[in-house]
């Protein structure tokens, strides 16, 4: 076990993969200076400009060029700098990369990792703060990951680089410096959730940074005598329906929380899937941001956040109501 930050864990995974396989390379804006969040620090010096490629400011060009490189046998890691900026390359990702294996009858594939730093972070305002994971979960052909811990950011990054399908890899900007133990021998599996805390009264389901808030909420609930089980999905597609169902069958109560907008969010998919498969003791609840633009002002930004207190409050309410 080694203690490292969330950013360091992913950087180590990338470096190890590049050392082991010369087909792995990185391309994106600001990589020559180690990345805007220093998530590539030291890699330009070790691997040089041909494998840590510092690209011009054209997301469509970056994504399209990397797609072509993937089709001819390399394994690019595409850095989009901010998840919001990646929208400039949506056609390349959604209409080309996601559909390549299907359109070519399995004769070709696009093994790519598309890194998209997501989420609210230090008053970054409406164009730099979005969480758009549900968009990509909707697109056939894409794997979607949202790691919440240094361990998962290491293990899932290794799995993403080794995957033969395109992986949309969403890292939350607010936890780059979060520290945790990392065991480099642990393997990750898409569609396999992490049970962050076991419990018997209520199930809390989340992903990305909000999963950490669910752990915090579970600790608060424990002080009230409420035993909460926390499930961190880690990947949204595929997602671990079996783990959530097993937990909800045990607790009879479900709270799904995420930072992204509640309307059309992936939390609705989780609730709907469970509603088709089990009976609840109280109505399931989902927490998400209101359908509002994210303000620059910290006090207004905070109005849109899902907090540990909100999650604990929803779980407490579920203990008091009956379906």
Of 197, 194, 205, nearest in space to 318 by CA: 205
Q: How far apart are CA 160 and CA 297, in angstroms?
A: 35
The catalytic position among 128, 172, 209, 258 is 128
Q: How far apart are CA 323 and CA 315, in angstroms?
A: 14
Q: How far apart are CA 176 and CA 117, in angstroms?
A: 10
208 CA to centre of own chain: 5
Contact 149, 6 (CB under 8 A): yes
Q: Taken in order 132, 135, 139, 144, is the CA torsion positive or negative?
A: positive
- 209 assigned to active site: no
Q: Which residues pair with 286 in a beta bridge?
A: 256
Q: How far apart are CA 254 and CA 229, in angstroms?
A: 10
User: Do you find a cis peptide bond into 238, omega within 30 degrees of 0?
Assistant: yes
Residues serving a catalytic function are: 128
């Amino acid at each position: 076990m080694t203690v490292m930050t969330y950013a360091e864990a992913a950087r180590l995974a990338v470096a190890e993969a590049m050392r082991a396989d010369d087909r792995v390379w990185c391309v994106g804006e600001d990589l020559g200076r180690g990345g805007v969040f220093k998530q590539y620090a030291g890699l330009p010096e070790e691997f040089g400009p041909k494998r840590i490629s510092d690209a011009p400011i054209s997301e469509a060009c970056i994504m399209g060029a990397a797609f072509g490189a993937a089709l001819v046998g390399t394994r690019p890691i595409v850095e989009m700098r901010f998840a919001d900026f990646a929208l400039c390359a949506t056609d390349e990702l959604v209409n080309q990369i996601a559909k390549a294996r299907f359109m070519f009858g399995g004769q070709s594939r696009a093994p790519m990792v598309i890194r998209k730093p997501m989420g609210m972070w230090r008053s970054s305002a409406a164009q730099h703060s979005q969480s758009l994971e549900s968009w990509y979960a909707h697109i056939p052909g894409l794997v979607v990951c949202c790691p919440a811990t240094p361990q998962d950011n290491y293990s899932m990054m290794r799995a993403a680089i080794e995957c033969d399908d395109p992986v949309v890899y969403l890292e939350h900007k607010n936890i780059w410096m979060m520290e945790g133990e990392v065991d480099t021998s642990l393997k990750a599996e898409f569609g396999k959730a992490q049970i962050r805390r076991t419990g018997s009264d209520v199930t809390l389901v989340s992903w990305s940074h909000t999963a950490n808030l669910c752990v915090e909420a579970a600790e608060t609930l424990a002080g009230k005598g409420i035993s909460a089980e926390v499930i961190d999905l880690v990947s949204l597609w595929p997602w671990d329906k079996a783990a959530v169902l097993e937990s909800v069958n045990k607790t009879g109560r479900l709270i799904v929380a995420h930072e992204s907008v509640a309307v059309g969010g992936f939390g609705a998919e989780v609730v709907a899937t469970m509603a088709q498969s089990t009976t609840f003791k109280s109505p399931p609840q989902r927490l998400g941001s209101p359908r509002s633009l994210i303000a620059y002002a910290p006090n207004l930004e905070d109005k849109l956040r899902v907090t540990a207190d909100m999650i604990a409050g929803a779980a407490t309410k579920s203990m008091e109501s009956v379906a």
